[in-house]
Structure 1
Amino acid sequence: MRRNNREKLMYHLQNELNFTFKNIALLNEALTHSSYVNEHRKFNMIHNERLEFLGDSVLNLAVSDYIYKKYPYDPEGNLTKIRANVVCESALALIAKKIKLGDYLLLGKGEEATGGRDRASILADALEALIGAMYLDKGFKKTQNVVIRLLEKEIIEVSKKGELFIDYKTKLQETLQRNRNRKSEIEYKIIKEEGPDHDKKFYVLALIDKEEFGKGYGRSKKEAEQMAAKEVLIRMGVKYE
Structure 2
Amino acid sequence: MGIGGEAQPDRARLLNVSDDVAAWVGEALGVHPDDPAPFVRALTHSSHAVGQAGGSYERLEFLGDRVLGLVMAEWLWEAFPDEPEGQLSRRFNALVTGAVCAEVARGIGATAYVRLGKQARDDGAQHGDNLLGDVMEALLGALYRTAGLEAARAAVRRLWADRIHADDSAPQHPKSALQEWAAANRRGVPAYSIVDRSGPGHAPRFTIRAAVGTDEVTAEGTSKQEAETAAARALLDILREQPATRRKRRR
- Normalising by structure 1, report the TM-score: 0.74
Q: Say whether 1:219 aligns with 2:219.
A: no
Instruction: Pick one of 12, 21, 31 that aligns with 1:19.
Output: 31
1:130 aligned residue: 139
The 10-residue stretch of structure 1 (115-124 or 213-222) with the greater mean CA deviation from structure 2 = 213-222
Alignment of 1:193-212 (within 5 A): 193-202=197-206
Q: Say whether 1:7 aligns with 2:18.
A: yes
CA distance in 2, matches of 1:189, 1:45: 39
- Aligned letter for 2:63? L
2:3 aligned residue: none
Gaps of 5+ in 2: 1-9, 242-251
TM-superposed CA distance for 1:104, in Å, is 1.2
Alignment of 1:145-224 (within 5 A): 145-158=154-167, 160=168, 162-163=170-171, 167-172=173-178, 175=181, 193-202=197-206, 217-224=220-227
Q: Kindly tell me: are residues 221 and 126 of structure 1, through their superposed partners in 2, closer, same or farther at Cα, counting changes over 3 Å?
A: farther
CA distance in 1, matches of 2:150, 2:179: 32
Gaps of 5+ in 1: none
Q: Kindly tell me: are residues 167 and 24 of structure 1, through their superposed partners in 2, closer, same or farther at Cα, counting changes over 3 Å?
A: same
TM-superposed CA distance for 1:45, in Å, is 4.5
**Residues 35 and 197, structure 1, Cα contact 8 Å, conserved in 2:** no
TM-superposed CA distance for 1:231, in Å, is 6.6
- Aligned letter for 2:108? I
Q: Kindly tell me: are residues 80 and 216 of structure 1, through their superposed partners in 2, closer, same or farther at Cα, counting changes over 3 Å?
A: same
CA displacement 1:150-190 (0-9 Å, x = unmatched): 111211223x3655xx842343465578678xxx8x99887
1:119 aligned residue: 128
CA distance in 2, matches of 1:78, 1:59: 18
Aligned residues: 225
Q: Kindly tell me: are residues 92 and 109 of structure 1, through their superposed partners in 2, closer, same or farther at Cα, counting changes over 3 Å?
A: same
The 10-residue stretch of structure 1 (128-137 or 44-53) with the greater mean CA deviation from structure 2 = 44-53
- Aligned letter for 2:127? D
- Normalising by structure 2, report the TM-score: 0.72
Query: Which of structures 1 and 2 has the bigger CA Rg?
Result: 2
Alignment of 1:47-86 (within 5 A): 47-86=56-95
Instruction: Pick one of 28, 50, 61 that aligns with 2:40.
Output: 28
